[in-house]
Amino acid sequence: MDQFSKPEPERSRWFIVISGLIINLCIGSIYSYSVIQVHLRKLFEDLGLRVSATEMQIPFIVFLLFFAITMPIAGRYIEKFGPRKVAYFGAILVGLGWFSASFASSPLDLAVLYGVIGGIGVGVAYNCPIVSVGRWFPDRRGLALGITLFGFGVSAAIIAPVFDFLAVNFGVILTFRILGVLFFILILLFATFLSFPQEGWRPAGWTMHEEKRKVFMELRREEMIRTRQFYGLWASFMIGTLAGLMAIGISKPAGLEVAQNAGIGEAQISILLTALIVPFALCNGIGRPLFGFITDKIGVMRTAILSFFLIFLASLSIFLNPKSIIAYTLSFAILWLNLGGWLAIAPTATAFLFGTKDYAKNYGIVYTAYGAGAVIGNLLAGQSKDLFGAYLMVFPFVALLAILGIFVALTGLRTK
């Protein structure tokens, strides 16, 4: 297991947060898929393929699904070998996934080369900084994890315009190869700073007694899955990520739909819609420390209810205003914000409800809800487009799911 040997751990532990943030910046590039798929669709059509909306969502779904499946498997190895070595392995797979995507000539090829390899790589690397930061910050876990995960959320703000620029000027194939090499180097470099604190280390002025009052239970994986709170958290996490991942997957094509309804052509609006990915991604990034802080202050159940209420309002707004670019922008900003929120709420809630003794394995199981949300949300979006002719038709279903989420939170996340 890695040991932290540098002096002044109170100060040095924040560098682990920054390292985790940069790693997440690289692996969170999947959230640029809304922009990436526009270029890929044109590439596939130039090769003589005719692809449906659902087919173009499949690589994104496969990536997120393998990401979520790998998480609980990787958790046991983080405990055994330490976060640094596991993150090294993740760096290799992430770089390979992006590089090999350059050889895809169809959505199915992309699903295997990019979705499977890249998804496994992200699943291996993702939990390494989370578990490490969670050990170093028992006193401010929600805030520290939120900052760490900010990189994953804000990634698209940087990667989407970079991918757009590189694809236009150098082509999609070379772009995948450039980013694959870049991500491999950066993850490898900053993984060297990940570690666990020495046995018995505690923050200055903090005692275990304070933490015990915050923790509901100290449970291992097999004990956790027999509790009502586990199923409440899993279902809530699935609904929250379903809405956000669906929005991320269709941000640009849904925006083109709204523009078309308003009588604006693709040539006039395309640059703006790509540019909007930046504030959307910033909302996703900000949602992590924001909701992490809120969870620390008002608790898991109330924070979940707040999130579902915002998702309901956003879904209703975009559906009732299908010609409004303003309604589209505000609604998608809220949905991206709440996805970031759930990726801070869930890890914080896992530690709060089930303790930290088996945290890597416990959160790995909880995280499978993310995979379920990715599959269901993006299939709903793709089928709405293919069956009803519009991505916007998915939002009444999302609004109903948000109402269901409020009920689940009220009944499943109570600790008394």
- pLDDT tens digit string along 38-69? 888 888 888 888 888 778 888 988 998 898 88
Q: Say if CB 412 and CB 232 are below 8 A apart.
A: yes
Domain residue ranges in the chain: 9-412
What tokens were used for 201? Answer: 């280390």
Residue 171: Cβ-neighbour burial (10 angstroms; 0-12, 13-18, 19+):
middle
Find residue 3's DSSP bridge partners: 196
Residue 396 has pLDDT above 70, yes or no: yes
Average pLDDT over residues 340-366: 85
Q: Say if CB 377 and CB 311 are below 8 A apart.
A: no
206 phi and psi angles, rounded to 5 deg? -115, 140
Note the CATH architecture for domain 9-412. Answer: Up-down Bundle (1.20)
3 phi and psi angles, rounded to 5 deg? -120, 145
What tokens were used for 210? Answer: 């304070």
DSSP for residue 3:
B
DSSP string covering 78-131: HHHH-HHHHHHHHHHHHHHHHHHGGG--SHHHHIIIIIIHHHHHHHHHHHHHHH
Question: Alpha carbon of 401 to those of 162, 278, 407: distances in Å?
Answer: 34, 27, 10
pLDDT at 402: 95
Q: Which long-range contacts (CB under 8 A, 24 or more apart) does 170-176 make?
A: 172/39, 172/40, 172/43, 172/102, 173/102, 174/102, 175/102, 176/98, 176/99, 176/101, 176/102, 176/114
Residue 411 has pLDDT above 80, yes or no: yes
Give the containing element (helix H, strand E) for 177: helix 172-191
Residue 213 has pLDDT above 70, yes or no: no
Average pLDDT over residues 190-214: 71
pLDDT at 7: 39
Instruction: Give the contacts of 312 (CB within 8 A, at least 6 positions apart).
Output: 399, 402, 403, 406
Instruction: Give the contacts of 93 (CB within 8 A, at least 6 positions apart).
Output: 117, 118, 120, 121, 124, 125
Instruction: Give the contacts of 306 (CB within 8 A, at least 6 positions apart).
Output: 294
C-alpha dihedral, 344 to 350 to 352 to 354, nearest 10°:
180
What tokens were used for 288? Answer: 């992590």
Q: Which residues of 53-84 are buried (b: 16+ CB within 10 A; e: fewer)?
A: bbbbbbbbbbbbbbbbbbbbebbebbbeebbb
Higher-pLDDT residue of 118, 247 = 118
Q: Say if CB 152 and CB 57 are below 8 A apart.
A: no
- pLDDT tens digit string along 92-128? 999 999 999 999 889 899 999 999 999 999 999 988 9
Compute the residue count for the chain. Answer: 416
Segment among 207-221, 286-300, 308-322, 345-359 with least mean pLDDT: 207-221
One-letter identity of residue 225: I
